[in-house]
Amino acid sequence: MDAKDLIIEKQAAEIRALKEIIKRLEEEIARLKKDSNNSSKPPSSDIVKPKKTVRKGSRKKRKRGAQHGHKKFSRSAFTPEQVDEVIEYELRDKDAVGLQPLDEWFVMQQIKLPEKMYKVIEHRARKYIDSATGRIHIASLPEDVRKSGLLGGDVTTMVAFMKGGCHMSFTTIQQFFKEVMRLEISRGMLSKATQKVSAALKPAYEQMVELLPEESYLGIDETGHKNNGDKYWTWCFQTSHYTLFHIDKSRGSKVLFELLGKEYEGIIGCDFWGAYRKFFRLGSATVQYCMAHLIREIRFLAEHINSKLSRWGEKLLSWLRALFKTLHRSDELTATGFARRMIQIKRGFLSQVRKPPDHKLAKKLARRFKGRSAETYFRFLTAPHVEPTNNGTEREIRHTVIDRRITQGTRGDAGMRWCERIWTIIATCKKQNRNVFEFIHKSLIAHWTNNTYPELL
């Protein structure tokens, strides 16, 4: 081999090495470009978001408040039965000269706080003495009075509602009592109040846990939870009439097997997390993987620096856009026409996704749609009660995410059980359009008096 050949071989080796470096850099750039818009990453992971650019000639941003043409909304006035006090104003005699009073009034209703926001009730139980033995007997107090202690049932319920429903820390609740109600309450007493409510909500919570395996469709998702600094997971199970939260150390399939059982034969709506895939593979359940998560993954491919991968991703997105456009127009189409169009879109998408370009990301995605596995994304076409996305469950879990950010988690098992129960009751009452405060209060009184608990199901 002469000197010229050696130089050519050396240059070829350098070119191969540079190509390898470029490939790695492209992958790194693509990874760094991942955000909540083009992947399953949460919005909180978007450290820097690009500013929105306003194009010239685009329509102006509409003003805040009511829009032109929209019907004005006015609050209904309180009825005479709801008014606690009436104050009348009339002109002075000298100002009313020449004027005839009418039996009509200009009315302005106003809501005010009472001067004292609480009342103190002293419960006295008379003592009796047995003249023969000298033994003291005390009259019985009502069970709810005896078990509630200093804070009555309604105040205990208010503390629980502020803590669980309003994302308030014990310190903030303590400050509210001090500054607004003019009442000094210790953090320990506030904590005991929430634990009383937690015990009262236990029967309703356990009833929902028992019903989970009987549901024909469940939307499931999970999010992180901190307990004493350790990593736990809050699982959310959503049905059409209730939502249940469960906090567990594991994010794996064992939680699903424990709560639903291997024999569960319903449909679960979820993302592509491995725990769901394993539960589907080893159990009897069927699955509807979230289309929204799939779209974000494909959007990432469509924005990739690799041109072949990008074009392939765009073609897949066009099929999915057509799918959701047709889905949103289902009321305008006949049942036959809607079914025919959806089948066409499904076939077109599967035909495209099963012809990936020579790239590992494309081949990885294409493997999901081999054979019957494709049905795991299109189950909603044959099961009308199944949602194509898991967005509903993600909305339900948002309350717990906000609570986690404000309160920084829990400090023990009692705190985790409290969170499970209060989040479950709040979400379920909201879903059923029921008053959360009223349900908690009734459950608390029933718990103290051993009476029938209010039911959610």
Going by pLDDT thresholds of 50, 70 and 90, the confidence category of residue 311 is very high
Q: What is the mean pLDDT of residues 296-324?
A: 94
Alpha-carbon gap, residue 303 to 309, rounded angstroms? 9
Residues 6+ apart with CB under 8 A from 405: none
**Is 440 domain-assigned?**
no
Q: What percent of the chain has pLDDT over 70?
A: 93
126, 375, 387 from 270: Cα distances, Å: 61, 14, 10
| Average pLDDT along the chain | 90
- pLDDT at 42 > cutoff 60: no
**Is 270 domain-assigned?**
no
Give the β-pairing of 243-248 and 230-238. Answer: antiparallel
Q: What is the mean pLDDT of residues 300-324?
A: 94
Alpha-carbon gap, residue 350 to 345, rounded angstroms? 9
**Is 324 domain-assigned?**
yes
How many domains is the chain partitioned into structurally?
A: 1
DSSP code string of 278-309: HHHHHSS-EEEE-HHHHHHHHHHHHT-SSHHH
3, 5, 6, 20, 220 from 12: Cα distances, Å: 14, 10, 10, 12, 53
Torsion sign over Cα 335, 336, 342, 345: negative
- pLDDT at 13 > cutoff 60: yes
**Is 347 domain-assigned?**
yes
**Is 15 domain-assigned?**
no
Give pLDDT tens digits for 110-169: 999 999 999 999 999 999 999 999 999 999 999 999 999 999 999 999 999 999 999 999
**Is 298 domain-assigned?**
yes
**Is 322 domain-assigned?**
yes
Q: Which two tokens stand for residue 153?
A: 């049932």
- pLDDT at 47 > cutoff 60: no
Give pLDDT tens digits for 58-87: 566 677 777 777 777 788 999 999 999 999
- pLDDT at 55 > cutoff 90: no
**Is 393 domain-assigned?**
no
| Residue 26, pLDDT score | 76
DSSP annotation of 181: S
Give SS3 for 272: coil
| Residue 111, pLDDT score | 95
* Domain limits for position 348: 291-386
| Residue 341, pLDDT score | 94
Q: Specify the higher pLDDT residue, 29 or 253.
A: 253
